[in-house]
Structure 1
Amino acid sequence: MPDGATSSGGEFDVVVVGGGNAAFCAALSAREPGARVVVLERAPEPESGGNTRFTAGAIRFAYRGVEDLREIMPDLTDAEVAGSDFGTYTEDQFFDDMFRVTRNRTDPELCEILVRRSFDTMRWLRGKGVRFQPIWGRQAFKVGGKFKFWGGLTVEAWGGGPGLVEAETAAARREGIEVRYGSRATRLLHDGFKIYGVQVRDAGRLYELRAPAVVLAAGGFQGDAEMRTRYLGPGWELAKVRGTRFNTGDGIKMALEIGASPFGNWSGCHAVQWDFNAPEYGDLAVGDAFQKHSYPWSVLINADGRRFLDEGADFRNYTYAKYGRVVLEQPGNFAWQVFDRKVAHVLRDEYRIRQVTKVRADTLEELAEKLEGVDGAAFLAEIRRYNAAVRTDIPFDPNVKDGRRTEGLAVNKSNWANTIDDPPFEAYQVGCGITFTFGGLRIDTEARVLDADQAPIPGLYACGELVGGIFYFNYPGGSGLINGAVFGRLAGATAATDARGNAAGGGMVPPVAVG
């Protein structure tokens, strides 16, 4: 035992390190067979919830049609169903999206678990008291009097990310799970063969918390500027962190220290276009609103006054998580999203918050002068070239990949290409906001952490953002929360089963019944 540490804190079967969606799913799952569970949340209670609290709450899962959705959202009225085209999002479509956006790199076994168990996990969450609703405002357009959902993303947690954290916390308390806030796990207790607990630091003390099973669910390393730069590359210390300041790779580092196997896309991350003047870390008062996700209707201009990517390559759901990196790579690490009046009505709500970096002008010449850091003459020449290349004979339709494109440019726009010629003009300055990192720990199909020889480390489990091998280069929108829920549920169940096995062998007192 290290100097100053004491053995304290009661007796538990499963310790969960982390306090977001994945952690609570692990805790709730472990509690089902009667395991005694404690959740260690590094953040103080007002900032608790990890990255989950900062999300808008969208969750991607496979469903066959509206009857499946009604199982998840029993509050849906007949009128709402009649006025909506929810479509379908089959398991095959989910697989296609996962393999396409990860360039066929996603681990097949882990992806199989993610997709096949996504719908049942949503039902399980509903059974725990989590409520869901359709994403009317962000994932649907009104077509022919009906809301038409697009991009395979239909449902969000009631109250967004904060609502999801509150619902899962309430469920944990109902089921007798202890949550310790301001409690940072600093070291795994390991005898060379198996885990027997964690070392914990909280206000003014350091103690050992012993248990035969530890679930790591403490997020990625995006909150650590040194780790970002070491693994993602030069310039990443300049990115803003979209979410919590507490996700600094603790779980990953603790596991690697005892020989866990690193796995996945360590140089990859989820990074979006984020207000250039946003604070260093996420702001709970603003939430996700620093994001700027209506870029498919814009032209993106860098400091040289040039376009540099295909804004309309695909639906926002399939490009937003990789375009933050592209913006970070531009001169000055910024870009401007430029719109005219034709698309002002389809801009998302986040463009109307008070804390926004925006300029407005009645002429393009005036706009060029207001685009801070941009070569104005080059910008005007670029807009002239772009406008001349737009296929205006093809109708604009924001509900589908409409094929309204440019032709003959060095960087063509594939869909939703409108000329920039209808004042007033608006432009929004964006930088890079990192959400989470893709590299992490290697797990097996039961969520056991594997060592360098790819054998399970007895007593150690992982879920959520710190698991590697699932996302590479990019990710389909909404798949982060379902990833945390599916693998959190799996990790908790495996941990409880293994802890019970240890108890039967004399290692622990048998678990008590849920009371």
Structure 2
Amino acid sequence: MDHATDRPTDLTTDLLVIGGGMAGLTAAARAARDGQRVVVVEVGADVGGSGRFAGYIWTAPDHEVMDQQNPNGDAALKRRLVDDFAAAVEWIRSTGVEAKPAQRILSFGRGHEFDTNHYVDTCRRLVTEAGGSVLIDTVTEELLESDGAVVGARVRRSSGEELDITARHTVLATGGFQGSAELRETYLGSGAGEMPLRSNPHSQGDGLRLATAVGAAVGPEQAGFYGHLVPSGVPFKDSGDFVDLSLYYSEHALLFNLENRRFVDETLGDHLTTVALMEQPEARGLLIADGRVYRDWMVPAYVEGAVSVDKFALASRRGGRTGLAESLEELEYLPEDWGYDGPTIRAEIERYNEAAASGTLEPGRALDPAPLLEPPYYVIETIPAITFPFTGILIDDHARVLDSDGRPIPGLLAAGSDTGGLWNRAYAGGLAAAIVFGLAAAESAGAPSSGE
């Protein structure tokens, strides 16, 4: 809509940031430090979003590894992420938040542990100390347009008061649409709406709704999502469960679908196996590990410095479908109401062990082709849980939102999980992308000429 300021409560600012999570607060804090006037609008009762539940900034160490791990991601976005990763880490340190020395993440990544709670709170402080505003419990109703450019937004406070915020640039950083079962069904496929939500509940697709209303393009199709396998029938009690209940060790176990067969190379990453399971019958499967996997991978911390959790004991204690078999023969007695055929599962593991010994595995096991020979056998039924989608608002490598013709929409930027294109059935670091493109958005907002 065309905009005219006519109310005493209306605001004018340089940068309006819609969403107070990792990406939005990064953009806001950097812009404030650079001397811009900033207003942050957050729908929740506090800032931080899902970023408060994380703890590591990491990505692929170079372009070659990024291309190997994420071959279908947008080339320009991938390049910007890798090229600007070191600067993002230094930005974190410049705020006074410690980013610890680099360590290995997954089989290919490199990253740094840091206190994400301290970071988002520090970013908020940088905004307010520079004279900016952070409006919580505030819903963004629509973007404001003038002469083909986005010039701010109309928001509604918890009191019911509406106000128009006029801005030279507006950043969409609402965290994605994973909180909306309807949008998950629309963009991720049938059954996706039933997945457990492994993130804050406020990311309901506001950024997507606002962007498409002004002509933004959305994609890519069938790009998947980031998430992890979790025990079936075990609801999350609090945000600590997002990590404690995630079955990261699946990379070393075997996963069978309801047809009693393996269907994916589990070793490539639990996050990728999660997407693959979503596409299997009823989106549930049987995860089986032996004594070696339990000892070496199920109980120890997934990354250095994290708390160790016995995933099997926790799932059992919380009422998940679990079983402990003292031998392969005992796997034949799986409960019938689970829907799997015990004798077939046993035979499939025996067949797998023979193929592992002869090097003829199908599907292959690129990173851990060892057989499961050491009893006992630990069984957990598992389902996929979503953290954020890979489909979203399309941007260029300057964080400018693109229309259906691939042209930047003047005045409109986006960063973080609201955006699409970077990841396509692959993943190498959500916090890294949020901070790199949050900084890119601040840079574009502060540039004398954005090229729009």
TM-score normalised by the shorter chain: which range applies? 0.7 to 0.9
Distance 1:192-1:258 versus aligned 2 partners, 3 A rule? farther
1:194 equivalent to 2:174? Answer: no
> What is the 5 A alignment of 1:248-259?
248-259=204-215
Question: Partner of 1:472 in structure 2?
Answer: 424
Decide which moves more: 373-382 or 352-361: 352-361
Question: Partner of 1:386 in structure 2?
Answer: 352
Distance in 1 (CA, whole Å) between partners of 2:447 and 2:362 is 58
Question: Partner of 1:328 in structure 2?
Answer: 278
Question: Partner of 1:414 in structure 2?
Answer: 366
> What is the 5 A alignment of 1:341-490?
341-346=291-296, 347=298, 348=301, 349-350=308-309, 351=311, 353=314, 355=318, 357=320, 358-370=322-334, 372-391=338-357, 407-476=359-428, 479-490=429-440
> What is the 5 A alignment of 1:164-183?
164-183=119-138
Equivalent in 108, 119, 123 of residue 151 of structure 1: 108
Q: Indicate the SS of the match to 1:427.
A: strand
Question: Partner of 2:224 in structure 1?
Answer: 268
Distance in 1 (CA, whole Å) between partners of 2:367 and 2:319 is 26
Seq. identity, %: 30
Distance in 2 (CA, whole Å) between partners of 1:298 and 1:221 is 31
Question: Partner of 2:90 in structure 1?
Answer: 123
How many equivalent residue pairs? 432
Distance in 2 (CA, whole Å) between partners of 1:366 and 1:178 is 62
Cα offset, 1:58, TM superposition: 2.1
Distance in 1 (CA, whole Å) between partners of 2:119 and 2:246 is 20
1:54–1:242 contact (8 Å) kept in structure 2 = no
1:53–1:162 contact (8 Å) kept in structure 2 = yes
Question: Partner of 1:143 in structure 2?
Answer: none
Distance in 2 (CA, whole Å) between partners of 1:188 and 1:282 is 35
Distance 1:15-1:444 versus aligned 2 partners, 3 A rule? same
2:92–2:119 contact (8 Å) kept in structure 1 = no
Distance in 2 (CA, whole Å) between partners of 1:460 and 1:421 is 56
Question: Partner of 1:20 in structure 2?
Answer: 21
Q: Indicate the SS of the match to 2:420.
A: coil
Question: Partner of 2:51 in structure 1?
Answer: 52
Question: Partner of 2:36 in structure 1?
Answer: 35
Distance in 1 (CA, whole Å) between partners of 2:17 and 2:28 is 6
Distance 1:98-1:21 versus aligned 2 partners, 3 A rule? same
1:386–1:409 contact (8 Å) kept in structure 2 = yes
Distance 1:177-1:336 versus aligned 2 partners, 3 A rule? farther
Question: Partner of 1:298 in structure 2?
Answer: 253
2:331–2:345 contact (8 Å) kept in structure 1 = no
Cα offset, 1:451, TM superposition: 2.7
2:58–2:111 contact (8 Å) kept in structure 1 = yes
Q: Indicate the SS of the match to 2:212.
A: helix
Distance in 1 (CA, whole Å) between partners of 2:221 and 2:448 is 29
Distance in 2 (CA, whole Å) between partners of 1:170 and 1:39 is 12
Instruction: State the TM-score, normalizing by the size of structure 1.
Output: 0.76
Instruction: State the TM-score, normalizing by the size of structure 2.
Output: 0.86
Which residues of structure 1 form unaligned runs of 5+?
63-88, 141-148, 392-405, 502-515
Per-residue CA deviations over 1:244-276 (Å, capped at 9, x if unaligned) read 211122112111111123343464322332232
1:335–1:430 contact (8 Å) kept in structure 2 = yes
Distance 1:419-1:109 versus aligned 2 partners, 3 A rule? closer
Counterpart code for 1:451: D
Please provide the CA RMSD for this pair. Answer: 2.9
Question: Partner of 2:64 in structure 1?
Answer: 96
2:28–2:123 contact (8 Å) kept in structure 1 = no
Q: Indicate the SS of the match to 2:391.
A: strand
2:23–2:435 contact (8 Å) kept in structure 1 = yes
Distance in 2 (CA, whole Å) between partners of 1:53 and 1:270 is 17
Cα offset, 1:481, TM superposition: 0.9
Per-residue CA deviations over 1:46-103 (Å, capped at 9, x if unaligned) read xx42221233x222257xxxxxxxxxxxxxxxxxxxxxxxxxx4xxxx2123222332
Cα offset, 1:360, TM superposition: 2.0
1:491 equivalent to 2:448? Answer: no
Counterpart code for 2:24: A
Decide which moves more: 8-17 or 485-494: 8-17
Counterpart code for 1:186: E
Which residues of structure 2 form unaligned runs of 5+?
302-307
Decide which moves more: 5-14 or 218-227: 5-14
Decide which moves more: 126-135 or 211-220: 126-135
Question: Partner of 1:504 in structure 2?
Answer: none
